[in-house]
Amino acid sequence: MPPAHRLSPRDLFVVAIGGVVGASARWALLEATAGSDGGSAGPVLLANLVGCGLLGLLVGVARGKSVGRTTRLLVGAGFCGGLTTFSTFAVEVAAALRDADPSGAVGYTVLSVAGGLTVFLLGRSIGRRSGPDSIRDASC
């Protein structure tokens, strides 16, 4: 990654648009599963896994081909960042620990982290295969 660009108002607008669309998808997922047991843990886990996979795909494709800064901001930092969330995950885990449910806390953490990393790698390898180039460089 080259030294940080100076953020322009356009960058902020682009990331905000992607963020709103991603967050709305997360909200829709929560609404669609409202009433089913388990509260927000299941849909948030699903949103996080899908977002990790999509970001992996973008990083993989970006490796081989030129993916513009606008696309990276819109889809990566914007949509994937908005679809996924860390704060709800952290509060769910903290609440499980507070409610003396350590196995629930550990299970949810392992599913989220191991699942997120695995899906990210899966997405990245699929994305790389779709690109003509396979130069090794793990930064995005």
Residues near another protein (CB under 8 A): 1, 4-5, 7, 11-13, 15-20, 22-24, 26-27, 30, 48, 51-52, 54-56, 59, 73, 76-78, 80-91, 93-95, 97-98, 105, 109, 112-113, 116-117, 119-121, 124, 136-140
One-letter amino acid at 119 equals V
Whichever of 2 and 130 has its CB closer to another protein, that residue is 2
CA–CA separation, 73 vs 81, rounded Å?
10
CA–CA separation, 123 vs 38, rounded Å?
28
Shortest separation between residue 43's beta carbon and another protein, angstroms: 11
What element of type H or E holds 95? helix 87-98
Shortest separation between residue 136's beta carbon and another protein, angstroms: 8
